[in-house]
Structure 1
């Protein structure tokens, strides 16, 4: 076997922009011949994909895969909204979600290394998609919920196809109760999550840094008050905050649950279900949240392309 040196891998990366492991594999497959390795990457679509990898991908789809006791949400990004309507892109997103739910993998990098239906890896399927579709694609994240007994509820907002859309929600209800009662309840709660955007099931699930920031805001808004008064104001303010951002304390958005919190709705459902019901967790993915999108002047781009700019 030819000696694939770090210097050779570095040179191939600089030449093609492909990933380190892809470059190493290409050189191994090509007997350390640099030109042959470049061709190997081009044939795999990895060199072409790398040229697009710097472009911002903030559009795309949220894909859900749901089994009786487990659900997975993945976000696959593209550069433009148009690609979300591409059947090849939809197939990749749907297949990645299925790979995740069957493998139990939710770490994006580990998921990329997993076997893809029909051969190769998820990363190779994405690279091939980039080469075929002509845009940068990126598997951004994945998350799952699961129960030992019970149901998984799901909801996709503005779906473009089955379980593919802009917002995807999963809700896990743990219970030995009747599934014909639990299933519609889980879906109703999933709709609520999509609309109300809770941060956590209850206060214990909120990031301590978020709570610290909220305390700071409350303290600064009431600066100058005696310490014992300020302490009570902050405590009261946090209770109000938890009612706004924790799922169990949020008032249900549904008319049939008027003036009831999600926690109360669950408690009342136990009678019909015939057993205790526990909300084990939820996932709410909104497409592109947290990604800094690049603003472009479309008219200027057209003018520049036609030589008028």
Structure 2
């Protein structure tokens, strides 16, 4: 049996919110497999849905920029939140986002593109690292575009316009009034920032994600002792609820919970007299999926004190 360390138990507790002893038992039951332990806790009703992104660990800025029917979102990381408030870093991220949008760059081609007064983005980052004294890197970028329609953006927790911690782009395909489309796109982008959907429509949900959720729901239903045919109906109902939680078009609109996003789109289409299709969206939360090294400050101070004796 795998050794269950205190660090592993703590990590599971942070990801699920379950009790310490429940986390330890889950890890014992799953031979130390963290993902299986999360599912075990959920099956027993001891944890909420797993936090997909984990703890936000990287700092820096997300930048968004749009121009009519195109848009770009970029993330550039640094070590501390202090850098996000630095004018030089803010200007650099804004310039990099503008260059990425104009040139429709990939992440690799952007690294070699001229940004501001620097010959390449990588040269600019090297200069900033020397000036500010922190490591930095271009982590990711995404473009959205439509043939007819608009790409709208929203920045949550903006430190300056178009730069902040949670950025969203939404692409709407339509021949309708662009002002009305932009207004709708902004509202949907704000909704996405708050609700963090993982798929645009039901057919986009990864089969592996759906299968995992169904297995958990089946085990939960069987624990109730109901007949198998009742269990299947229970699971079908809960899968529908699952879609309402993670699929954008199935989610309840944050500004009017009586309407689904799909209904909000349909209502606006009737208003402007032209069909509207949500062609895509992207949501960047600063540092999502990156684990920051934890340090025990008291232990560090003690170690330094011991070394100075």
TM-score between the two structures when normalised by the length of structure 1 = 0.74
Find the counterpart in structure 1 of residue 242 from structure 2. Answer: 241
Q: How much does 1:71 deviate?
A: 0.9
CA distance in 1: counterparts of 2:186 and 2:303, whole angstroms: 49
Matched-pair contact (CA < 8 Å) for 1:57–1:136: no
Deviations 1:253-279 (A, max 9, x none): 11xx35011110110111222211111
Please give the residue correspondences for 1:248-263 in structure 2 after superposition, counting only pairs within 5 Å.
248-254=249-255, 257-263=256-262
CA distance in 2: counterparts of 1:67 and 1:183, whole angstroms: 11
Deviations 1:211-262 (A, max 9, x none): 22212211221237655444433333221111111111111111xx350111
CA distance in 1: counterparts of 2:308 and 2:179, whole angstroms: 64
Q: Is 1:118 equivalent to 2:139 in the alignment?
A: no
Find the counterpart in structure 2 of residue 69 from structure 1. Answer: 69
Find the counterpart in structure 1 of residue 266 from structure 2. Answer: 267
Q: How much does 1:177 deviate?
A: 0.5
CA distance in 2: counterparts of 1:92 and 1:299, whole angstroms: 36
CA RMSD of aligned residues (A): 2.4
Find the counterpart in structure 2 of residue 162 from structure 1. Answer: 161
Q: How much does 1:66 deviate?
A: 1.1
CA distance in 2: counterparts of 1:206 and 1:161, whole angstroms: 34
Deviations 1:184-219 (A, max 9, x none): 111111111111111111112222222222122112
Find the counterpart in structure 2 of residue 149 from structure 1. Answer: 148
CA distance in 1: counterparts of 2:301 and 2:151, whole angstroms: 47
SS at match of 1:280: strand
Matched-pair contact (CA < 8 Å) for 1:57–1:80: no
SS at match of 2:253: coil
Q: How much does 1:113 deviate?
A: 2.9
CA distance in 2: counterparts of 1:82 and 1:297, whole angstroms: 21
Please give the residue correspondences for 1:4-83 in structure 2 after superposition, counting only pairs within 5 Å.
58-83=58-83
Find the counterpart in structure 1 of residue 90 from structure 2. Answer: 90
Q: How much does 1:75 deviate?
A: 1.0
Matched-pair contact (CA < 8 Å) for 1:57–1:77: no
Q: Which stretches of structure 1, 4 residues or longer, exceed 6 Å deviation after superposition?
A: 302-309
Matched-pair contact (CA < 8 Å) for 1:172–1:280: yes
SS at match of 1:99: helix
Find the counterpart in structure 2 of residue 216 from structure 1. Answer: 215
Q: Is 1:178 equivalent to 2:147 in the alignment?
A: no
Deviations 1:148-206 (A, max 9, x none): 11112111111111100011111111111111211111111111111111111111222
Q: Which runs of 5+ in 2 are unaligned?
A: 1-55
Tell which has more relative contact order, 1 or 2 (C-alpha 8 A, sep 6+). 2
Against the structure 1 CA distance between its residues 131 and 305, is the aligned structure 2 distance closer, same or farther, given a 3 Å change threshold?
farther
Matched-pair contact (CA < 8 Å) for 1:155–1:169: yes
Matched-pair contact (CA < 8 Å) for 1:71–1:145: yes
The number of residues matched between the two structures is 251
Against the structure 1 CA distance between its residues 262 and 213, is the aligned structure 2 distance closer, same or farther, given a 3 Å change threshold?
same
Against the structure 1 CA distance between its residues 300 and 123, is the aligned structure 2 distance closer, same or farther, given a 3 Å change threshold?
same
TM-score between the two structures when normalised by the length of structure 2 = 0.74
